[in-house]
Structure 1
Amino acid sequence: MKNYLKVLLGQLVIVLFGFSETYGQSVLDPYYFSGSGPVGTARYTSMGGAFATLGGDISGVSTNPAGGAVFVNHQIDLSLGIAGFETQVDRGEGTRFQINMPSAGVMFSIPVAESKWKAINFGLTSSRIKNFGRNIEYSDQVNAPNSFVDFLLADAGTIPPSELADNSFFGAMAYDTYILEWDENTGSYYTYAGGSSEQRVIYKRAGRNTDYDLNFSANYDNRLYLGVNLGVGNMEIKDEMQNIESFNDTLEKVEFRDDLIRSGSALLFKLGAIYRVNKNIRVSAFYHAPRHYRLLTTYTARLESGFEDNSGYRINDGFEFEYLLRLPSRYGGGVAVVLPKAGVFSIEAEKTRLQNAFLGYYDPGDGAFDADKSFFNSENVDIAQNYVDLISIRAGAEIKISNVALRAGINYQSQPFANKTDALLSRYKPRMFYTGGIGLRLNKNTSLDFFGTYASYRENFFPYSGGLNKEIKISEISIGTGLSLYF
């Protein structure tokens, strides 16, 4: 069973949902799922996520648990937002919107009498780490050897039809729908689709990564703030691709659709500290332990053929498996300037050693993960050799004018790959998010905040191994609001 699954997974990697055959989807997982964007409470988001040193914010507690000790009141927070992703590609474009809840939580502050430990705080927080969204649509004219039928021919290779089911997932589907025919004399496959084709590709992605934290924190003498989070990280991603090719030949149409759903969770452990140097300056440090996501993956595929005599064939197939995705530890710190009744400024840096990420196989038979990672050996070698440290820098400022707060920030993430000259990897440039917002203190118990963010960056898109390489430009924008209640 394990060897058979290895064949299936190897073939799944080359149906790439937008990535190259060298750097398949699983190899890019550490890049997409590590780090964090400016997503959270309205105040946190509008200041670029720079709250590791300021504290007193629900999403800031998710970054630095010591921020929970800065709360001096009980507080409830709820945020709502809309995230939009516009994708531009040669001869096509697409847009996707997601309504989401970036953050929600409650914090309690319990004063301690006659002690330098001024308060013991605790709370529950839900903070969105990342939103995943894509919608790529384009049409193109494709010639051999770049069509999807060429991919099917290459996947089947010279495997006899009697052995296809065990050795070529997509080749077997193509043979059963008469897209491929076997020639006994040459020991190879051929097809009735010839020449160029008109290709239509539609790719969609949706999903999110959310942390649910139980925070315990303490305030020592209004100078040292300490905190720890125990929690669960939950991830869900759904990829869909549809590829339609039309030929002017006996085989007139080939339509392929597949869906990949991954969902799972990881236990979280976070530590943090904030120190008040004086009434205006604070410094901080935080650490997040590695995350071991156990991801259940469901893959389904449908292949359909249509011939000039109006005959046609369709087949559905799929499989399910579990695997381990280990994301490395994150650590960082920052400094903040706090001017009472005037405003704040905060800057922080964070580091994640992406080259230490790895994939592991889960064997349902013994209920354990493959500790030596040999099942994904080639993917793990690619991860170790091609990644570098991911550096995130966040900075934000807030200016207070009476009961109004004006906010702005930036969120920078470095280029993740070591090989900057590779034609494909060099397209993954550093990302910069620009953020802003406004806060209104309605009364002593209620605040209403608004935020907006914008980023633009480039990536690669390969609909399948051997397909035409497309450079895509992604514009990401989000807006939303948040309500805070103090009691």
Structure 2
Amino acid sequence: MKRIFITGIAVCLLQSSYAQDVFDALRYSYPISSGTARTQAIGGTNISLGGDISSVFINPAGIAQFKTNELVLSPGFNFNKYKINYNDTITKGNKSKLNGGTSGVIFSFGGGRYGRSRNNTTLALAVNQTANFNTRFSYGGRNLNSSYTEKWLEEIKYSNVSTIDGVRSSFPLGASQAYESYLIDIVSSPNGDLLITNADISKNITQHFAYESKGGMTEGAIALAWNSNDKVLYGVTIGIPIVQYDRQTVVTENDGTGNTDNDFESFTFTENLATRGGGINAKLGVLFKPVEYFRIGLTFHTPTIMSLTDYADATITSNIENYSRRLNNDPSKPTSYTYNTKDVNELTGGGDENRYSYQIVTPWRAGLGLSYVFREISDVTKQKAFITGDVELINYKAMKYSSSQGSPDVGETEYFNGLNSQIDEMYKMAINARIGGELKFKTLMVRAGFNFMGSPYNRNFVNDVFGEDLPGWRMTPSLGLGYRDKGVFFDLTYAHAFGRNFHVPYTLQDASYPFAKNNISNGQVVATVGFKF
């Protein structure tokens, strides 16, 4: 009869009921290049330029330049490619998906309070995709340092759980199923009972990780802006982001020794996670025109406060060869076992669904933009060109988790405090820079831009944890064309992002983190069609 007796104290609560980690926080906080085709063609630069519905999500003061009403639609298509290096094994793959840029409607109310034509108020209703979660990638290789099963051992070791039922109820997504399928167990030793894994590194472990996710974060917004004599423009946006995230993770480990009687042949762990929720934020902006041809923009985005709920289930299938037969002295025992979340919940009298709600706060952002417009006059159709640039600060250290309960228990409080401390150590303030320009030939326009996103990671922390300086930057050059005539416009843009990042399949307290290096290569085509009315 198997039993578990935990003698360790609670150093850090790693309970599977709380599925959040430091990397999940970045998913909802890392901005992507988005907007209309015009904005994306100039590198996403629009803090000081204005005159585009994308200003609703960048600097709402920019929509105060509109003198007419406008309807805008921006469909798009994304090409995701990857090349991942895990323990010197290279894996390639791709996934493509439809997405969308900024779409909406703008209403301009001219005349102002005193009837001056250079004063107006503008109202905009818009929607924009602020995160794209559609990815599919996999990688694998030989790992001589750790096994994924050690993650489950540590969950138990560093918790205050001391009974089998406690393991089942506290760790319904992995550890309990690994225990029920004999993948992890307890053995006696001169120093007392020890937790062990049958998939230990002496078996020359070969690992494979596969991830597929879909969904995105779509933000609906209402913006109001005011134009004071075309010299000072200011505006505010209230945004409502909606999160839909679905991910399937499949982890496989195999015995690489070829020994058919060493208590481990393989296991497959499949986890399904669905996250739903929403939040609220505000964007404030001002735009100055000290002279007709020069513009200065300032913007501040408040943190987004989001309430999210995770729904998760998992299944483990293990092949532990003759281990259970010897343990139970019963040759009729099977060599392979499968347990899922429902099986474990039935043992504890729980329901079929593992659900947990929490809150997350994303970073604040502040930006400065400068634009120079060649031949800027009141008749915008006669403008010849512009060049514009932005610099933006994002404080990733400000990301924060918290319980959605009014009075969280001690375990939750300790868990989230520890998680927020890790975020504070791992992340830093990042600088993003963008530049773009346009040449105009009567009704046709040619555009180009460049977007650089700095690494959100604390370099010293990454070096200490992973033993090397892992990058996290991204660059996106872009090209676009535009057409405007008689109240109708059409824009088309291609932007290609490339960069370097890394992926961590699991984290351990007692061993070095495994990681995979990721070469990013993502293309995006965006089209925008608009009508003035």
TM over 0.5: yes
The answer for the alignment partner of 2:354 in structure 1 is: 319
Unaligned runs of 5+ residues in structure 1 are 1-5, 16-24
Map Cα deviations across residues 317-373 of structure 1 (whole Å, 9 max, x no partner).
26211111112322222111112431111112222222222111111xx48899x96
Which of 171, 177, 184 does residue 180 from structure 1 map onto?
Answer: 184
| Residues 284 and 390 (structure 1), Cα distance of their counterparts in 2 relative to 1, 3 Å cut | same
Alpha-carbon RMSD: 3.0
SS of 2:31 mapped into structure 1: coil
* Secondary structure, aligned partner of 1:58: coil
Shift of 1:39: 1.0
Offset at residue 428 of structure 1 (A): 3.0
- Residue in 1 that maps onto 2:480: 437
CA displacement at 1:471 relative to structure 2: 1.5
CA distance in 2: counterparts of 1:35 and 1:177, whole angstroms: 38
Matched, 1:34 2:55: no
Q: Which amino acid aligns with 2:388?
A: S
- How far residue 167 of structure 1 moved from its aligned partner, in angstroms, is 5.0
State the 1:66 CA deviation: 0.8
Unaligned runs of 5+ in 2: 1-9, 323-333, 342-352, 376-382
Q: What is the deviation of 1:50?
A: 0.8
Larger radius of gyration: 2
Q: Distance in 1 between matches of 2:107 and 2:79?
A: 34
| Distance change in 2, residues 1:289/1:28 (3 Å) | same
Matched, 1:10 2:14: yes
Q: Residue 61 of structure 2 contacts residue 285 of structure 2 at CA under 8 Å; is this kept in 1? A: yes
SS in structure 2 of the partner of residue 45 of structure 1 = helix
Q: Which has the higher strand share?
A: 1
2:236 pairs with 1:216? no
Match of 1:164 among 145, 162, 167: 167
Equivalent residue, structure 2, for 1:124: 125
Q: Map 1:31-180; keep pairs closer than 5 Å.
A: 31-34=26-29, 36-90=31-85, 91=89, 92-112=91-111, 114-116=114-116, 118-143=119-144, 145-157=145-157, 161=164, 163-169=166-172, 170-180=174-184
User: Structure 1 residue 78: deviation in Å?
Assistant: 0.7
Which whole-Å CA distance do the structure 1 matches of 2:321 and 2:357 have between them? 42
CA distance, structure 2, for counterparts of residue 66 and residue 35 of structure 1 = 23
Contact 2:426 2:461 in 1 (8 A): no
**Contact 1:256/1:301 (CA < 8 Å) preserved in 2?**
yes
Identity of aligned residues (%): 23
**CA shift for structure 1 position 160:** 5.7
Which residue of the other structure, out of 395, 418, 430, is the alignment partner of 2:458?
418
Cα 1:352/1:463, change in 2 over 3 Å: closer
2:502 to 460, 464, 473: 460
**Aligned partners of 1:206 and 1:416: how far apart in 2?**
23
Alpha-carbon shift at residue 297 of structure 1 (Å):
1.4
2:425 equivalent to 1:385: yes
Q: Distance in 1 between matches of 2:244 and 2:139?
A: 26
AA aligned opposite 1:93: K
Q: Offset at 1:71?
A: 0.9
TM-score, normalising length: structure 2? 0.80
Change (3 A) 1:268 1:187: same
CA contact (8 A) 1:254 1:304 kept: yes
Q: In structure 2, what is the equivalent of residue 405 of structure 1? A: 445
Task: Specify the code of the residue in structure 2 equivalent to 1:79.
Answer: S
Matches within 5 A, 1:187-202: 187-190=193-196, 195-202=203-210
CA, structure 1 residues 142+47, in 2 after alignment: closer, same or farther (shift >3 Å)?
A: same
Count residues with an aligned counterpart.
468
Look up the SS of the partner of 2:74 in the other structure: strand
1:275 corresponds in structure 2 to: 288
The CA distance in 1 between the partners of 2:153 and 2:280, in whole Å, is 43
In structure 1, the residue matched to 2:525 is 479
Relative to the length of structure 1, the TM-score reads 0.87
Secondary structure at the residue paired with 1:376? Answer: helix
Pair 471,14 (structure 1): closer, same or farther in 2 beyond 3 Å: farther
Structure 1 residue 397, shift from structure 2 partner:
0.3
Q: Which residue of 2 aligns with 1:20?
A: none
